[in-house]
Amino acid sequence: MSGDGSFETTVDLNAPVQEVFRHLTEPAAMIRWMGQHATLEPAPGGAFEFTLSPTEGGTRLRLVHRNLPPDEMEMHSAGWEYFLSRLSQAAGPSWAS
């Protein structure tokens, strides 16, 4: 967490970059780790920034979530920890389609 209203984290996922990208950009795949429905309109400069880098074991995902009110930082930190672990399971080898 930073003092500018941004939450940032990095996580290594046991899934190829293409599969992680699919789970971030396709509504049906995003539902598998984020919830019941998804409407996606990715655009540069938005509140969320995902950077994907290949690693020997899969993908390193860097997330920046901007414009958070100070009193919501802790909640979003816990939420992202939870949902990124679900992304790791959804995009991992046992879920690949």
Would you say residue 83 lies in a domain? yes
Whole-model pTM: value is 0.85
Domain count, the chain: 1
Phi, psi of 58 (to 5 degrees): 150, -105
* CATH code where residue 13 lies: 3.30.530.20
Tens of pLDDT, residue by residue over 17-60, are 999 999 999 999 999 999 888 888 878 888 999 999 999 999 99
Identify the domain containing residue 50 by its residue range: 7-91
Average pLDDT, integer, range 85-97? 78
* Residue appearing with tokens 């795949």: 29
Q: Alpha-carbon distance 65 to 27, whole Å?
A: 19
The dihedral through the CA atoms of 7, 18, 86, 25 has a sign that is: positive
Would you say residue 18 lies in a domain? yes
Tens of pLDDT, residue by residue over 52-86, are 999 999 999 999 999 999 999 999 999 999 999 99
Would you say residue 1 lies in a domain? no
What's the confidence (pLDDT) of residue 44? 83
Would you say residue 60 lies in a domain? yes
Let me know: does 52 contact 63? Beta carbons within 8 Å. Answer: no
Would you say residue 97 lies in a domain? no
Would you say residue 2 lies in a domain? no
Would you say residue 96 lies in a domain? no
Let me know: does 23 contact 29? Beta carbons within 8 Å. Answer: yes
